[in-house]
Structure 1
Amino acid sequence: MDNFSSNSSFIIRLQGFDFPPQGAFIAFVFATLSYLIIVFCNLVLLITITMNKSLHQPMYLLLFNLPINDLIGSTALLPQLIKEILMDSRYIHVSNCITQAFFIHIYAVGSVLSLTVMSYDRYIAICSPLRYNTIMTNGHAIRMIMIVWLVDLFIIGLLFALLLRLPRCRSLIIQPYCDNPSLLTLVCADTTINNIYGLFITASMQVFGLGMILYTYLQILVACFRSKRSDTKSKALQTCATHLTVFLILEGLGLFTIISYRIKELSPHLRRMIGVSTMIFPPTLNPIIYGLRTKEIRQKIMLLFRQRVVPS
C-alpha cells in the first residue's frame, strides 16, 4: 500500500460507458462538439467583456468570473473523456487522476459561489437601486471574486490534503472520470474524517448558496410586486428567471451526482451520465443564457462579429 502522493506512476483504471463501436463514434462526436461549443461560447463572452469598456462594471465583472470557472470544469473532464473514447483506453496515472478530481471540485464549488455573489449583485441593483453605485463598485466586485477563489481553493485544498495522506490498495474507479468519492473507494483505511468533511462542504454550500439565492430572489420578487413600473417588474423577473434556471440546472445535476454515490441500487450508467452532464450542460448553457438574454452583451457580441466579418 502507498499513499496517493508517494507514487505518481501508479495507474488507475477507469470504468467507462462500454459503448459499442457505433455508439463510441457518436459519443466521441458529442463530447468533442460539446467541448468546442463550451470553449467557443465562453471565450466569446470573455473577449466581449474584456474588449468593451462599457461592460467594465460590477455586474459584468462578476459574470466574467463564471465562464472562467466553466472552462476549468469542462477542460478538467472533456479532453480526458475524449481521449478515453478515441483511444479506447481506460487507464490514467494517479497524479493526473488527482489533478482532474481537484479541478472538477474547484469547478463545482466555484459555480455555487459565483452564482451566489451574482445573485447578491442583482439583489442590490433591484432592491436598493439608489445605493447600488455606492455599494457595488468595481473594487468591491473584484474583492468578492478574490474571496470566491480563495474560499474555493482553501476548501478543496483541504479536502485533497486529507485524501493524499491515506494509503491506497485498489486501482479501479467505477466512473469515466476521477473525483473525490471515487478516489476514496481506492483507500484501504478509515475515511471517516474525509466523509465528514465532504458532507460538511456539501451541506455548507447548500445552506449558504441555496439560502442566499432564495433569500435574494424572494426580496427581488417582493420589490417587483411593490414597484409600479411595468418595465422594472419585467426586467427584474427576467433576471430572476435567468439566474434561477442556471442555478436549478446546476443544483439538480450536482445533488443527484452526490446522492447517487449513496444509492447502491442505482444504475451505474445513469450515475455516469448524470455526472458527465453536470460538467457539460451548465458550462454550455451559461454563456448562451447570459449572452443572449442580456441585452448589452448581446449587442456587443453582434457588434464584435460584424467588425470581424465585415471590417470597416
Structure 2
Amino acid sequence: MLNSAFSTLSYLILGAFVDVGTLKYFYFMLTAMLYIVIIITNTSLIVVICMNRSLHEPMYLFLVSLFVNELYGSTGLFPFLLVQIISDIHNVSAPFCFLQIFCLYSYANVEFSNLAVMSYDRYLAICYPLQYHTRMTTNKAVILIIVIWLYCCVRFLITLSLNIRLTLCGNIINSLYCDNYLVAKLACSDVNMNNIYGLFSISLSILVPLVLILFSYMKILKVCFSGSKQTRQKAVSTCTPHLASLLNFSFGCCFEILQSRFDMTSVPSVLCIILSLYFVIIQPLLNPVMYGLEMSKIRNTCKHVLRYKMFVCRRDTK
C-alpha cells in the first residue's frame, strides 16, 4: 500500500500549460536566461564568500546557505520547466513529480528557517555587539545550518511518504509544476492522517520561525529607539536586505497559496503563472542583488576581484 500513488498512476498531466504556438521558443529563451542569471549570481557570491577568509563569519555562512538553497530550489524547477515549455505533451512521471514536490517544498522550508536564524543572528550582532563573537561562533553557525537542512528535509520526507501511500483517482493537476496540495486533492482514499500531520507540520514550519523573527526584530527596534545614531545606522544597513528578502519570500509564498488553493478562474492566466512561480523565481534573483549591493564587505570584495581580473587581463594583453 506504500506505493499506491506509483501503482495507480504512472504519470500526471500538468493542466496549466496552454498551446502558445511559436511563442514557446521565446518563453523558453526567457526562462533559460533567468536560470542562467540565477546560477551565475548565486554561485559568484558563494565563491566570493568562500574564497575570502575575512568573510568566514557566521552572518556570511548563513548567506552561503541561503544562496545554495536558491540554486537548489531553482534547479528543482527550471530544467523541468524548460522541458515542459518546449514540449507539446505535458506529462510527468509520478516518481519524478514527487521528487519535484520534495525539492520545492524543502527549498521553501529551508529558506524560511534560514531567514529566521539570520534574524536571530542580526539580533545578537546589534543588541550584544561586544558578546556577539562568543554567543554566535562559526561552529555554532555551521551546526545551525546543518540542523536547518536536516530538519526541513526529514520533516518533508514524512509528508511525502504519507502522500505516496494515497490512492489517486485522477491525474490532472492545474499547475505548471507538481504541487503537493493539488496532488493530495486527487486522492480518493483516507487523508485524515495527512491532514493532521499537515497542520502539525505547518505549525512547526511557520509559527516557530515566525516567533523567532518577531522576537528578534522587536528587540532590534527597542535598541534602535533607545540607542545612538550609529547603532540605528548599523541596524538599518544590516537588516534592510534581510527584511526585504523576508518580505519578498513571504509575499511569494502567500501568492502561491492563493493560486493553488482558491478558484482563480476570473484572474488572467498570465497573472496566475506569475503568482505560482514568484516564490521560486524572484527570490533567487533578488537575494544576490540585495546582499551584494547592501553589504559593504561583499560589495568591496566583488570590486576587488573585478579590479584584479581587469588588471590581469590588461597585463596579459601587453
Structure 1 window deviating more from structure 2 (215-224 vs 280-289): it is: 215-224
* Alpha-carbon separation, structure 2, partners of 1:307 and 1:21: 47
- Farther-moved stretch of structure 1 (255-264 vs 235-244): 255-264
Aligned mates of 2:89, 2:302 — CA distance in 1: 40
**What residue is the counterpart of 1:302 in the other structure?**
303
Partner of 1:101: 101
Q: 1:82 Cα shift?
A: 1.1
**What's the counterpart of residue 126 of structure 1?**
126
Determine the C-alpha separation between the residues in 2 that align with 1:87 and 1:308: 41
How far residue 29 of structure 1 moved from its aligned partner, in angstroms, is 2.5
2:159–2:194 CA contact under 8 A, matched in 1: yes
**Local SS of the residue matching 2:262:** coil
AA in 1 matched with 2:190: D
Residue matched to 2:74: 74
What's 1:21 paired with? 21
Counterpart in the other structure of 1:275: 276
Q: Contact (CA 8 Å) 1:123, 1:220: kept in 2 or not?
A: yes
Q: Report the equivalent of 1:257.
A: 256
1:152 counterpart residue number: 152
SS at match of 2:12: strand
Distance 1:147 1:200 in 2: 19
SS in 1 for 2:261: coil
When the two structures are superposed, what TM-score results if normalisation uses the length of structure 2? 0.91
Partner SS for 2:131? helix
Kindly report which structure 2 residues correspond to 1:1-312, keeping only aligned pairs within 5 A, or say none. Answer: 3-6=4-7, 10-21=10-21, 23-228=23-228, 230-265=229-264, 267=267, 269=269, 270-311=271-312
* Structure 1: distance between partners of 2:264 and 2:87: 31
Deviation at 1:282, TM superposition (A): 0.5
Query: 1:22: Cα distance to partner?
Result: 5.1
Q: Distance in 1 between matches of 2:264 and 2:196?
A: 23
Give the letter aligned to residue 107 of structure 2: Y
Q: In structure 2, how many angstroms separate the alpha carbons of the residues matched to 1:68 and 1:254?
A: 19
Q: Give a deviation string over 1:91-132, Cα, whole Å, max 9, x none.
A: 111111111111000101000000011111110000011110
Q: Which moved more, 1:199-208 or 1:288-297?
A: 199-208
- The normalised TM-score by structure 1 is 0.93
Distance 1:292-1:89 versus aligned 2 partners, 3 A rule: farther
Residue 309 of structure 1 deviates from its aligned partner by: 3.7
Counterpart-to-counterpart distance in 1, 2:131 and 2:7: 54
Q: Percent of aligned pairs with the same residue?
A: 35
Q: 1:44, 1:301 within 8 Å by CA — same for their partners in 2?
A: no
Find the aligned partners of 2:292 and 2:150 in 1 and give their Cα distance.
27
More moved, 147-156 vs 189-198:
189-198
Greater alpha carbon shift after TM alignment, 215-224 vs 40-49 = 215-224
1:85 to 1:261, Cα distance in 2 relative to 1, 3 A: closer
Change (3 A) 1:200 1:19: farther
Moved more, 27-36 or 98-107: 27-36
Name the CA distance, whole Å, in 2 between partners of 1:29 and 1:198: 37
**Cα distance in 2 between the residues matched to 1:73 and 1:206:** 19
Aligned partner of 2:12: which letter? I
Displacement of 1:306 in angstroms is 2.7
Contact 1:83 1:89 in 2 (8 A): no
Contact 2:13 2:171 in 1 (8 A): yes
SS of the residue corresponding to residue 16 of structure 2 reads: coil
Of the structure 1 ranges 275-284 and 203-212, higher mean CA displacement relative to structure 2 is found in 203-212
CA RMSD of aligned residues (A): 2.0
Whole-Å separation in 1 of the counterparts to 2:10 and 2:190:
21
> Aligned AA for 2:260?
Y
Structure 2: gaps of 5 or more residues: none
Question: What is the CA–CA distance in structure 2 between the aligned matches of 1:158 and 1:147, rounded to whole Å?
Answer: 17
Equivalent position SS for 1:188: coil
Segments of structure 1 that go 5 or more residues without pairing to the other structure are none
In 2, Cα distance between equivalents of 1:292 and 1:167: 49
CA contact (8 A) 2:237 2:295 kept: no
Alpha-carbon distance in structure 1 between the residues aligned to 2:88 and 2:234: 49
